[in-house]
Amino acid sequence: MNKIVNPDKNSWEQLLQRPTQTVADIEQTVNTIFKEVKNGGDTVVKKYTEQFDKAKLSSFLVSEEEINKASDSVSEELKQAISLAKTNIEAFHAAQKTARIEVETMQGVQCWQEKRPIQKVGLYIPGGTAPLFSTILMLAVPAKIAGCQEIVLCTPPNKDGEVNPTILYAANLCGVTQIFKVGGIQAIAAMTFGTESIPQVYKIFGPGNQYVTVAKQLATKHNVAIDMPAGPSELLVVADDTANPAFVASDLLSQAEHGTDSQVILVSTSEKLITSVEKELEEQLSVLPRKEIAQKSIANSKLIVVENDETAIDLINEYGPEHFIVCVENEDFYLKNIQNAGSVFIGNYTPESAGDYASGTNHTLPTNGYAKQYSGVNLDSFMKSMTFQKISEEGMCKIGNAIELMAEAEGLQAHKNAVTLRLNSLKNN
């Protein structure tokens, strides 16, 4: 990892850059595939599935027989772990339900807000170097609680045209209505436009590589919403001499192993701690099965020494990490002053892995600095807020003149007339 000591504030922008390609680098490829899928449907999706995933498929839809077979191959211990995680995720997201909000803004003017589920949602689940079945729990569980009618899942097959059995087990357990063996740009395009096999959805959720991220952003140009522009995973840890160096190193590596374009950062006021963490990183990295991936990610990553907590929090808010671990004596200072982070993990015994899997919070979070303006996925992500109003005769008499004056001032005579006609009707009664 690159070690930087007391970087000048003017260098922060360059220092905190993510190791991602620009949209321009990828957009042409995504646009081409989108146009082809829109016009060619399943035939084009099959072509790209064969090209990118080396799988020849006669059908994208996962059969009930495949789901049952997958369930049989998942160990009971893993099923129990998934069940525990599902229970905690359900508890946390069910608690986010809100009741109807009703206000009489003035006598006779009644306004209220209710939430409705998004009817059709699409879930994208990466299945390449790491089959992220945990993401199914994070997306399908709140979708089900919200009441979404159609929950469509796309995930890439292996070269034999098969999907990881744990992905199929988790999807079935969490109430996914249809599962398709499609990945990458072509999956996002298929859910955007709909094909002969794959339904069009109203909103697409889920992480992916940079191509998937750009594809999701392009989907928004075709009347499909997305959860957020979530790309390669990232983690920032702030730690001092009260932190356990082995724990800190393990957290950094847990994110570094996601992919070669992941990024991890350690910020500390203690050079001593950073030296200890560097040693732990070497030892732990040497025995990781995904050592090569983690090594490349570590090359994108940084150890930053700062003078004090105030400088540290300013730098962290500038970065806006997806995951933020706080292992310091003065943790209250960081919790009070953090403004930009997707999810926060506090103390030596709260690894980021807990949020990834089983504590109950959602792990689908904003990356690439989007934590400055986006929330992570939550129950409301699967719902829409709708407003209602009802005005009585008395209410129209009280509010009507104000509406007439405002409409006339904006030069919208028909708006004024819609009120004037009603007021005149009431006067004549």
For every residue of 298-349, DSSP letters joined together read HHT-EEEE-SSHHHHHHHHHHH--SEEEEESTTHHHHHHH--S-SEEEESTT
Average of per-residue pLDDT values in the chain: 95
323 labeled binding residue: yes
Catalytic residue among 234, 257, 323, 363: 323
425 labeled binding residue: no
Instruction: Look at residue 243 in the predicted model and tell me its pLDDT.
Output: 98
Alpha-carbon distance 370 to 230, whole Å? Answer: 8
DSSP string, 171-210: HHHTT-SEEEE--HHHHHHHHHH--SSSPP-SEEE----H
Instruction: Look at residue 128 in the predicted model and tell me its pLDDT.
Output: 67
Which residue is it, tokens 């260098």? 11
Instruction: Look at residue 258 in the predicted model and tell me its pLDDT.
Output: 85
Question: What would the mean pLDDT of 350-365 be, rounded to a whole number?
Answer: 97
209 labeled binding residue: yes
CB 153 within 8 A of CB 140: yes
Known catalytic residue: 404?
Answer: no
Instruction: Look at residue 229 in the predicted model and tell me its pLDDT.
Output: 80
Alpha-carbon distance 196 to 66, whole Å? Answer: 21
Tell me the two tokens of residue 276: 């200890």
Question: pLDDT tier at 171 (50, 70, 90 boundaries)?
Answer: very high
413 labeled binding residue: no
CB 303 within 8 A of CB 266: yes
Is 317 exposed, middle or buried, given 0-12, 13-18 or 19+ CB atoms closer than 10 A? middle
Question: pLDDT tier at 118 (50, 70, 90 boundaries)?
Answer: very high
Catalytic residue among 36, 257, 280, 322: 322
> Is pLDDT above 80 for 231?
no
Question: pLDDT tier at 411 (50, 70, 90 boundaries)?
Answer: very high
CB 251 within 8 A of CB 352: yes
Query: Which residues are CB-contacts of 332 (< 8 A; sequence separation ≥ 6)?
Result: none
> Is pLDDT above 70 for 261?
yes
Of 198-207, 230-239, 345-354, where does mean pLDDT reach its minimum?
Answer: 230-239
Question: What would the mean pLDDT of 226-232 be, rounded to a whole number?
Answer: 84
Alpha-carbon distance 124 to 390, whole Å? Answer: 40
> Is pLDDT above 90 for 230?
no
> Is pLDDT above 70 for 20?
no
> Is pLDDT above 80 for 375?
yes
Higher pLDDT, 90 or 297: 90
Domains parsed from the chain with CATH numbers: 2-20+232-360 (3.40.50.1980), 23-100+116-228 (3.40.50.1980), 392-428 (1.20.5.1300)
Of 79-88, 287-296, 328-337, 418-427, where does mean pLDDT reach its minimum?
Answer: 287-296
Instruction: Look at residue 210 in the predicted model and tell me its pLDDT.
Output: 82
Q: What is the pLDDT of residues 387-403, one digit of tens each?
A: 999 999 999 999 999 99
233 labeled binding residue: yes
Known catalytic residue: 322?
Answer: yes
Q: What is the Cβ-side half-sphere exposure of residue 269, based on CA atoms within 13 angstroms?
A: 15
415 labeled binding residue: yes
Question: pLDDT tier at 21 (50, 70, 90 boundaries)?
Answer: low
Q: What angle do CA 62, 63, 69 make, to 5 degrees?
A: 100
Question: What would the mean pLDDT of 168-195 be, rounded to a whole number?
Answer: 98
Instruction: Look at residue 13 in the predicted model and tell me its pLDDT.
Output: 93
The rounded percent of the chain whose pLDDT value lies above 90 is 89
Question: pLDDT tier at 129 (50, 70, 90 boundaries)?
Answer: low
356 labeled binding residue: yes
> Is pLDDT above 80 for 429?
no
Of 7-11, 24-28, 40-44, where does mean pLDDT reach its minimum?
Answer: 24-28
348 labeled binding residue: no
124 labeled binding residue: yes
Helix axis angle for 23-40 and 184-193, nearest 10°, is: 50
Alpha-carbon distance 150 to 142, whole Å? Answer: 13
Question: pLDDT tier at 235 (50, 70, 90 boundaries)?
Answer: very high
Q: What are phi and psi of 393, to 5 degrees?
A: -60, -45
Give pTM, 2 decimals: 0.94
> Is pLDDT above 90 for 383?
yes
